[in-house]
Chains A and B, each alone.
Chain A
Amino acid sequence: MVVEAGHFALVLALALALVQAVVPFWGAQTGDGQLMSVARPAALVIFGLVAVAFAALMYAHVVSDFSLVNVFENSHSAKPLVYKISGVWGNHEGSMILWVFILALFGALVALFGRGMPDQLRANALAAQGFLAATFILFILLTSNPFARLVPAPIEGRDLNPILQDPGLAIHPPLLYLGYVGFSIAFSFAVAALVDGRIDAAWARWVRPWVLTAWIFLTLGIAMGSYWAYYTLGWGGFWFWDPVENASLMPWLAGTALLHSATVMEKRDALKVWTIFLAILAFSLSLLGTFLVRSGVLTSVHAFASDPTRGIFILAILVLFIGGSLTLYAWRGPRLKPGGIFAPVSREGALVLNNLLLTTACLTVFVGTLYPLALEALTKDKISVGPPFYALTFGPVALVLLCALPFGPSLAWKRGELLGVAQRLSVAAAAALAIALLIVSLRRHGPILAPLGVGVAVFIILGSLIDIGGRVVKRGASLSVTWSRAIGLPRSIWGTAAAHVGLGVTVLGLAATVWGVELIVTARAGNTFDLGPYQVTIADVASREGPNYRETYAEAIVRSGGVIVAHVEPAKRFFSSRQTSTTQAGIVTLGLGQVYISLGDANADGTMAVRLYWKPLVTLIWIGAMIMAFGGALSLSDRRMRIGVARRAVTARQLPQPAE
């Protein structure tokens, strides 16, 4: 009964989404305020209906209603409750429901908080949003219905893929989807602006908070996914340049570019047509990611189903939205009034460079991801493109971007002074160079990448701090004056600095991977191994039962100079319902580094293959991402970002007009 209610709610949501796609759009075209005002309640009710459908599916999973194909195939009565809940989106159908749920959530938020913007813009944007919702709900209902029944109902389910039975499943997909789908708002507003044929700085002010929100979640989602892969795959890697990962990196790069170009548009009324393009690009790449991951084109843990009809349907959606929006862009884009042009050496100029480099980096990832697929389709040759490709293409572009980064925030708007900025940054550059040279002299034969990476990271971190320092500290000012200047500084400036420091911290963590120690040993209980600055003893190996698995685990003791610093318990779990095993790496964080131990197979003579890693500073990779997201949140909390302020600014600007 609950399940049928959920199914029915989803069908109703489809009907209403169609209304939302057509009626407000028609109203905006004819200038009919009543038709336009349909958009807001429609968006709110659609959210309610999709929430009912989502809750119904969650209920079915929680009570283990195996009469649902979806629950039968992906759940088990003995599965812990947290995985019954997160298992809702641990499968194709459920993850699409989550996608639509977040889409509807964003639509409802625009309807709630979009009061300040012009009626036509809001109506068109919500219509575009409704069109998106209708298409994806249709996709769910036609090809991936999670509410399909099974007769007769089986007694027990097939259980969730053991790799997904992890707390990461509860966090990673929702964060990532909030990021992916969050860009749909920027997309809808871009489409609305193109339909309207009008765009101004206020547009950027409305869209930027949504872009920033999506960016924060996408940053966290990617970092979380990377950490999940790191601890679950058992060999200590955190980024594999796998197409599925690239699918999330591409919208992040485009979204980061959009974030920066929207600033130029807001402040200087320039780069308007380009910003619209980036808004379309960011969401198109999110859709492409959904297609790559969900269509079964790639085999990976993310590809739940390889049903060809779904792939074709998603491909059709892709062509419809990307093709449609780009056609609209080509047709209406030239009609938009282009913005001003500016001096190359200025904040705007620096942000243009940022945009060029980010889109170029995005292009390299795009080619690396899609070239093998295209080649296979055309010539049947199967190839793979691995880390060496990205080191040669993405690497140099990223390096130039990182080196240029500290100059951006220090340059003034309109006309910057490169010499003055270089002078201010010289301290940071000198410190970075000194540290890099020190590392080279200490480790003469190490790879060059490590001192280079550390140097760049130090330059970014110090450069950002110097920029803030320059704004806050004035010579001769008392401490209290400095304090009040720091408080008075707009939060968006603090946010920018924090995000850039976060990036520097991540780069530092990446550079330090070079100094990691890796050991693959055959061990038996009692053996001790030297691992970087630590000694690891495998004290005991034993077995025990878990709720729906059986595990072999080792008790490992980590010592530093004879003193015990940690106990670690790596394990290997065997899930009988799916006849698969997973590796549970034993990880302990010591300072900023980690000792990482994972178990391999047992040999005939009672020894066991064990992998031991010492990973110095590795946690900085994810700490840096969290600092970046924090910077984004700080910027989002800036007074000027609040939508109400944007409204007041608009009315203030519109007031003088009647007097003309």
Chain B
Amino acid sequence: MTRKGRRLALIGSAVGLMALAVGLILFALKDNIVFFYAPAELAEKGVQPGTRLRIGGLVKQGTVERAPGKPISFTVTDNVKDVAVTYDGLLPDLFREGQGVVVEGVLETKDTFRADSVLAKHDETYMPREVADALKKQGLWRGGTAQNGPPTTQSQGSP
């Protein structure tokens, strides 16, 4: 092979590989991204049951039920709509009633949700950023800006 030929082969294989990677990325992005909704948005968008989602909001006061041998159940609310969530697993350290939470899982019916991971991912005002944004959008944000020390914990149940 000539010098020029070799160089072209090198550039060609590099471009080919990159194109392949971009193809893979686009393919993966089509099916493997998970959208985030607040309960009100969920009702608004009319998401089909069976869709994989993240839902964020506040854990409604007095709705957390733990019974031995049964999944934990609680209600996630944005003070407009509620979504009933079931979750079989250990809750993260920062999970609390009245505070922010993000759950990931599958929508079972229009307003029930089976979570396989619960993320209490937030700063010290106990508000996940996504949830804070969603509440602001609904006009329900009650101030309080985060200054420091946001801890994260995450928890996953058995699939």
Report which A residues bind B (CB closer than 8 A). 73-74, 91-92, 161-163, 233-235, 237, 240, 299-301, 303-307, 341-344, 352, 356-357, 360, 363-364, 367-368, 371-372, 381-386, 388-389, 392-393, 396-397, 518, 520, 522, 572, 578, 580-583, 598, 600-601, 603-605, 607, 609, 611
Contact A233 B154 (CB under 8 A): yes
* A601 in contact with B91 given A344-B6, A357-B17 (CB within 8 Å): yes
Interface residue B54 (Cβ < 8 Å from any Cβ of A): yes
* A393 in contact with B24 given A300-B121, A383-B34, A582-B93 (CB within 8 Å): yes
B interface, over-half SS:
mixed
Among B78-86, B106-114, B142-150, the stretch in contact with A:
B142-150
Contact B90 A383 (CB under 8 A): no
Interface residue B122 (Cβ < 8 Å from any Cβ of A): yes
24 A–B contact pairs at CB < 8 A?
A: A91-B149, A233-B153, A234-B90, A234-B92, A234-B93, A235-B90, A235-B155, A237-B154, A299-B121, A301-B150, A303-B150, A341-B6, A342-B6, A344-B10, A360-B21, A364-B24, A368-B25, A382-B35, A382-B133, A385-B34, A392-B28, A520-B89, A572-B93, A605-B68
Number of A-B residue pairs with CB-CB distance less than 8 Å in the complex they form: 154
Contact A299 B123 (CB under 8 A): yes
Contact B152 A356 (CB under 8 A): no
A interface, over-half SS:
mixed
Interface centre among B9, B21, B34, B37 (most CB of A within 10 A): B21
Contact A520 B151 (CB under 8 A): no
* A235 in contact with B25 given A300-B121, A305-B148, A383-B35 (CB within 8 Å): no
Contact A304 B148 (CB under 8 A): yes
Interface residue B62 (Cβ < 8 Å from any Cβ of A): no
* A385 in contact with B32 given A299-B128, A396-B24 (CB within 8 Å): yes
Chain B neighbourhood of A306, CB < 8 A: 123, 146-147, 150
Contact B21 A397 (CB under 8 A): yes
Contact B88 A381 (CB under 8 A): no
Report which B residues bind A (CB closer than 8 A). 3, 6-7, 9-10, 13-14, 17-18, 21, 24-25, 27-29, 31-37, 54, 66-69, 88-94, 104, 121-124, 128-130, 133, 146-158
* A92 in contact with B7 given A306-B123, A388-B32 (CB within 8 Å): no
Chain B neighbourhood of A73, CB < 8 A: 148-149
Contact A371 B146 (CB under 8 A): no
Please give me the residue from chain B that is nearest to A388 by CB atom: B32
Nearest-neighbour CB distance to chain A for B81, whole angstroms, equals: 17
Contact B90 A609 (CB under 8 A): yes
* A580 in contact with B94 given A92-B148, A382-B35, A384-B33 (CB within 8 Å): yes
Per the bound structure, the CA–CA distance linking A313 and B89 in Å amounts to 41
Nearest-neighbour CB distance to chain A for B94, whole angstroms, equals: 7
Chain A neighbourhood of B29, CB < 8 A: 367, 371, 385, 389
Chain B neighbourhood of A520, CB < 8 A: 88-90, 157-158
Contact A384 B36 (CB under 8 A): yes
Contact B28 A598 (CB under 8 A): no
Identify which of A344, A386, A397, A522 contacts B69 (C-beta below 8 A).
Answer: A522
Nearest 3 pairs of A and B residues by beta carbon: A382-B36, A600-B90, A392-B28
Chain A neighbourhood of B88, CB < 8 A: 520
Chain B neighbourhood of A572, CB < 8 A: 93
Contact A598 B130 (CB under 8 A): no
Nearest-neighbour CB distance to chain B for A383, whole angstroms, equals: 5
Contact A607 B68 (CB under 8 A): yes
Per the bound structure, the CA–CA distance linking A431 and B28 in Å amounts to 33
Contact B21 A583 (CB under 8 A): no
Chain B neighbourhood of A363, CB < 8 A: 18, 21, 25
Contact B21 A235 (CB under 8 A): no
Nearest-neighbour CB distance to chain A for B154, whole angstroms, equals: 6
Contact B17 A356 (CB under 8 A): yes
Contact A601 B32 (CB under 8 A): no
Contact A385 B33 (CB under 8 A): yes
Contact A603 B154 (CB under 8 A): no
Nearest-neighbour CB distance to chain A for B42, whole angstroms, equals: 12
Per the bound structure, the CA–CA distance linking A14 and B129 in Å amounts to 35
Per the bound structure, the CA–CA distance linking A475 and B156 in Å amounts to 56
Chain A neighbourhood of B150, CB < 8 A: 299-301, 303-304, 306
Contact A356 B13 (CB under 8 A): yes
Please give me the residue from chain A that is nearest to B10 by CB atom: A352
Chain B neighbourhood of A307, CB < 8 A: 147
Chain B neighbourhood of A578, CB < 8 A: 124, 149
Please give me the residue from chain B that is nearest to A236 by CB atom: B156
Chain A neighbourhood of B149, CB < 8 A: 73-74, 91, 161, 304, 578
Additional A-B contact list (20), CB under 8 Å, known A233-B153, A393-B25, A600-B91: A74-B149, A234-B92, A237-B156, A306-B123, A306-B147, A341-B10, A360-B21, A371-B29, A382-B36, A384-B54, A385-B29, A388-B31, A396-B24, A397-B24, A572-B93, A598-B90, A601-B90, A604-B66, A609-B66, A611-B89
